[in-house]
Amino acid sequence: MIATIVSSTALVSLLFLMQTTWLRNGLLLGVVPDLGLLVILWVSFRNEKSVGSFTGFFSGLVCDLFSAAPVGYFAFLYVLPAYALSVLNRFVSLDTIWIPFLAGFFSTLLKAIGSIVLSGIFGPSVLSSYFLDDVHLWVEAGLNAVLAPLVFFLLNMTGSFFVAKRTPSERIGSHRK
Amino acid sequence: MAIQRRPDRGMASVHVVSIVLLAVSLGLLGVSTKAINKVPELGADAAGSVQSFFSSIATFFRDTVFSIKELANLQQQYDQLVKKMDEYSAMQRDYAQVQAENAHLKEQLGFAQNVSTIQTAAQIVARDPSNIYSSYIINKGSSAGVGHNMAVVAFYDGVEGLVGKITEVRRNSSVVIPLFDQRFFVSARFSSSRISGLVNGQGSEDDPLVMRYVSKLNAGEIKKGDVVVTSGLDSIFPPDLAIGRVKEVIVPNYGSSAVIYLEPAVPFAKLEYLFVLQNHPAETQSEQAQSSAAAGQSSTATNVKNSDSAIRGANP
């Protein structure tokens, strides 16, 4: 589990680096897709227990390092969708296109709502946030939705590298249930 | 899309762990927004170095590929430059004489030397990974003399335009918060009418800047295209740096001040190189504040003082 969290966080960090440098001028209307978020979503979907939430938390801390945001801001924003997807994976099976598409879209909105809540708590002069009437938010949601199936497809090809192995006791427990 | 309910394996731990992590994040956020200014310098500096490395890879490829195309243009540019050189050599002869005359006239008029001094030139190596924040990472830090709250400018079309200020300094990189950020405030005035106000951004480089605290009584003097510059009355920015031009003036029916939308003086999307200015001496500002107060600009001075206190509140 720890190895999965570390390797997933490392991959997300690498994607954050790409976002800040190679993709810094954005893909559409100056908006950068959140590739790190898509990896966190996939990890949350494919792993049981809290691997996704931990990956979201540590990746968020890394993102805080790269960003002008105060520490803890992105940690909070990335745990939210990771938590949601960890719960959702009990009910929904991962398909090729539609689930990644919807996950990418609604997770971006969840992140936006989280940022608005945080900005409301700490004050807009302290924390920036998304605006629901800002076209950039919807462009980012659209980009994340469109890119999610591709990112999920590529991650599926990595096999079990980013999936935690279940311990024997967990396997026995699942058979009993 | 198949919807089914799977066994409830370890869901309780998922809830507990996620809620704990959210609480920890909030705790960290509470501490970092109040007590600790930013992350430990070591981690942040490492992040800056890695970003510089990534940026240099992109620069290498861009330079190599485009240099082939560049060669074709070089000959043409060379011919043009030779022609320009002839013109410049003629201009240079007159320059020293004009400069001496200018200094002499300034001295006679009693003006202070008011040219902003560049601390260092820097390249933008990275931007914020998110679309919420809008910071730039530059490749110069404390080792190049960059300090907290130093003003950052860029030259565009021969104009020295304000870009932002340094909010975080690492050894070999720094974070610049740009003018269009929601948390950025600068005391400003119109270069012609000298009416003062407070400018801040709306969070996106595509949106215009907003100038507030301009009395409605003065709004009639403001025209579209008027230039807004820094007033130098805050503790950060030297005076007369270009901020933008008036795009739209809105005079609300209720309220005592007009809202003015500005088009930034520098195109943020095209920025590659920035110049960090040395800190603006505080003595100069207090002198200016006193002289402007003495000049009897009662209404605008009140606005400026309000702006200053707002700036100091926003820029601790």
**Taking 70 as the threshold, does the pLDDT of residue B293 lie above it?**
no
pLDDT at A110: 92
A20/B129 Cβ within 8 A: yes
Q: Least CA distance to B12: which residue of chain A?
A: A49
pLDDT at A101: 92
A60/B25 Cβ within 8 A: yes
Asked whether the beta carbons of B224 and B246 are under 8 A apart, the reply is yes
d(CA B50, nearest CA chain A) in Å: 8
Confidence of residue A107 (pLDDT cuts 50, 70, 90): very high
A60-95, pLDDT tens digit by residue? 999 888 888 888 899 999 999 999 988 888 787 778
pLDDT at B311: 36
d(CA B3, nearest CA chain A) in Å: 5
Q: What average pLDDT does this structure show over B7-12? A: 66
**Taking 90 as the threshold, does the pLDDT of residue A134 lie above it?**
no
**Taking 70 as the threshold, does the pLDDT of residue A45 lie above it?**
yes
B58/A49 Cβ within 8 A: no
CB nearest to B39's CB, from A71, A87, A92:
A71
Q: What is the pTM of this model?
A: 0.68
For chain A, how are helix, strand and coil distributed in percent, rounded to 5? 70, 0, 30
B129/A57 Cβ within 8 A: no
CB nearest to A125's CB, from B31, B36, B314:
B314
Q: What average pLDDT does this structure show over B214-243? A: 83
pLDDT at B109: 58
What is the tally of helices (H) and strands (E) in chain A? 7, 0
pLDDT at A39: 92
Q: What average pLDDT does this structure show over B95-122? A: 67
Q: What is the mean pLDDT of chain B?
A: 74
A8-23, pLDDT tens digit by residue? 899 988 988 888 888 7
Q: What is the mean pLDDT of chain A?
A: 84
Alpha-carbon gap, residue A24 to B129, rounded angstroms? 8
End-to-end CA gap in chain B? 52
CB-CB neighbors (< 8 A) of B23 in chain A: none
A95/B1 Cβ within 8 A: yes
**Taking 80 as the threshold, does the pLDDT of residue B90 lie above it?**
no
Q: What average pLDDT does this structure show over A106-125? A: 88
CB-CB neighbors (< 8 A) of B8 in chain A: 90, 177
Alpha-carbon gap, residue B104 to B88, rounded angstroms? 24
Fold of A2-163: Arp2/3 complex 21 kDa subunit ARPC3 (1.10.1760)
Tokens of B25: 């994040």
CB-CB neighbors (< 8 A) of A170 in chain B: 9-10
A76/B25 Cβ within 8 A: yes
pLDDT at A169: 53
* A and B: number of Cβ contacts within 8 A: 196
**Taking 80 as the threshold, does the pLDDT of residue B299 lie above it?**
no
Residue of A2, A14, A19, A21 for testing the chain B interface, max B β-carbons within 10 Å? A21
CB-CB neighbors (< 8 A) of B137 in chain A: 20, 66
Q: What average pLDDT does this structure show over B300-306? A: 38
**Cβ contacts of B246 within 8 Å, gap of 6 or more:** B222, B223, B224, B225, B226, B228, B260, B261, B262, B263
Q: Least CA distance to A30: which residue of chain B?
A: B269
Among the residue ranges A150-154, B103-107, B171-175, B201-205, the one predicted with the least confidence is B103-107
A140/B131 Cβ within 8 A: yes
pLDDT at A113: 92
B17/A64 Cβ within 8 A: no
Confidence of residue A145 (pLDDT cuts 50, 70, 90): very high
Q: What average pLDDT does this structure show over B247-268? A: 84
pLDDT at A168: 53
SS3 for B27-88 is HHHHHHHHCCCCCCHHHHHHHHHHHHHHHHHHHHHHHHHHHHHHHHHHHHHHHHHHHHHHHH
CB nearest to B9's CB, from A48, A64, A128:
A48
Q: What average pLDDT does this structure show over B6-16? A: 71
Asked if the interface predicted TM-score (ipTM) of this complex is over 0.90, the answer is no
Confidence of residue B36 (pLDDT cuts 50, 70, 90): very low
**Taking 50 as the threshold, does the pLDDT of residue B301 lie above it?**
no
Residue of B1, B4, B131 for testing the chain A interface, max A β-carbons within 10 Å? B131
Residue of A28, A32, A53, A55 for testing the chain B interface, max B β-carbons within 10 Å? A53
| Torsions phi, psi for A159 (to 5 deg) | 70, -130
d(CA B215, nearest CA chain A) in Å: 24
Asked whether the beta carbons of B128 and A68 are under 8 A apart, the reply is yes
Beta strands in A64-105 (DSSP E): none
More confident residue, B255 or B310: B255
Residue of A27, A50, A169, A170 for testing the chain B interface, max B β-carbons within 10 Å? A50
Among the residue ranges A88-92, A158-162, B85-89, B242-246, the one predicted with the least confidence is A158-162
B125-168, pLDDT tens digit by residue? 888 887 788 888 888 888 888 888 888 988 877 778 888 889 88
Confidence of residue B34 (pLDDT cuts 50, 70, 90): low
d(CA B125, nearest CA chain A) in Å: 7
pLDDT at A50: 83
CB-CB neighbors (< 8 A) of B18 in chain A: 50, 53, 79, 82-83, 86
pLDDT at B305: 38
pLDDT at A23: 79
A136/B28 Cβ within 8 A: no
CB-CB neighbors (< 8 A) of B181 in chain A: 128
pLDDT at B291: 46
Which H or E run contains B261? Answer: strand B257-264
User: How far, rounded to the nearest angstrom, does the alpha carbon of residue B81 sit from its chain's CA centroid?
Assistant: 33
